[in-house]
Amino acid sequence: MLQLSATEKYYWYLPPVDMRKGFDALCGIVQSMQHNITHGGIFIFCNRKRNQIKLLHWEIDGLAIYYKRLEAGRYELPVYDASTGHCAIKHYQLQLILQGIELGSVKHKYRYNPAA
């Protein structure tokens, strides 16, 4: 079962992906991103029209795919960070994208961060 946890890492593959791809082809894309699917993380793929999305996740005993197709509308793409060379997003950002909420319209309140 897919759970969007704060402890999980989320990686968005920005180029459009053919949604006919299955487990093996998507794992090949993950390897091209210099990641190992069995080390954890949720990998997100979207098609050219941005109305279909697939999430690939390694669970304890195997791979799982979450697939959603919108009947109307499009998924918002996250902002690409050129300094890191990939697009990592937070669990709440993915939840907002899946629900159709624009990330730019979300306002964050100040919270204490001991790491800062």
Q: pLDDT tens-digit profile of 57-114?
A: 998 889 999 999 999 999 988 877 666 556 888 888 898 888 888 877 777 778 788 8
- The answer, as to whether pTM is greater than 0.85, is no
* Residue 84, pLDDT score: 54
Average pLDDT score over the chain: 86
Q: Confidence class of residue 4 from pLDDT cuts 50, 70 and 90?
A: confident
- Count CB atoms within 10 A of the CB of residue 66: 15
- Distance, in Å, from the CA atom of 19 to the CA atom of 15, rounded to the nearest integer, reads 12
Taking a C-beta distance cutoff of 8 angstroms, is the pair 69, 16 a contact?
no
Please name the residue ranges forming H helices in 51-100. 91-99
* Residue 63, pLDDT score: 93
With pLDDT > 90 as the criterion, what percentage of the chain qualifies? 43
